[in-house]
């Protein structure tokens, strides 16, 4: 069993295909953030990108911290209700959902990483 993914969920092939396509077509801001999260670079936290989580595709997901990071661009302006519902569903499964804007990623990636780390370490017990 891979402890870095959500287990016990049935995922349709179409959803997996959509996630795979989104990984190929990520935005410049998602790519910038991914370059800093991949390979457990952020204090050893393992993130997956475009991960199917409880029926939704999360931009970034850290299983050990129960943390979903969404990078919001212009399309989210027209999806406020859908995004709020998705966040509610994810939170009902015990996940923390954080939104960062494209502008924040471009302007101050270090501040975004600090915020992500703060959220993640609230959920991850310290190792001995």
Report pLDDT for 128. Answer: 46
Report pLDDT for 21. Answer: 87
Report pLDDT for 1. Answer: 34
Q: Give every residue of the chain whose pLDDT is below 70, as ranges.
A: 1-8, 76, 123-128
Report pLDDT for 10. Answer: 72
For the chain, give me the number of helices (H) and strands (E)? Answer: 5, 4
- What residues are paired with 51 via a beta bridge? 58
Separation between Cα atoms, residue 93 and residue 91, nearest integer Å:
5
Report pLDDT for 4. Answer: 38
Report pLDDT for 109. Answer: 97
Two structure tokens written together for 51: 């991960």
Report pLDDT for 86. Answer: 94
- Which of 92, 40, 84 has its CA nearest to residue 62? 40
- Which of 86, 92, 52, 55 has its CA nearest to residue 72? 86
Report pLDDT for 91. Answer: 96
Report pLDDT for 77. Answer: 73
Question: Domains of the chain, with CATH numbers?
Answer: 28-121 (3.40.960.10)
């Amino acid at each position: 069993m891979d402890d870095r993914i959500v287990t016990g969920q049935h995922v349709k092939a179409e959803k997996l295909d959509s996630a795979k396509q989104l990984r190929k077509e990520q935005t410049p801001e998602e790519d910038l953030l991914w370059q800093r999260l991949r390979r457990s670079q952020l204090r050893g936290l393992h993130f997956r990108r475009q991960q199917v989580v409880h029926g939704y595709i999360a931009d970034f997901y850290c299983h050990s911290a129960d943390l979903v990071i969404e990078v919001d661009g212009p399309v989210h302006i027209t999806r406020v209700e859908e995004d709020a519902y998705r966040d509610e569903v994810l939170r009902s499964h015990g996940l923390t959902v954080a939104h960062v804007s494209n502008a924040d990623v471009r302007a101050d990636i270090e501040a975004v990483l600090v915020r992500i780390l703060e959220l993640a370490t609230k959920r991850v017990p310290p190792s001995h």
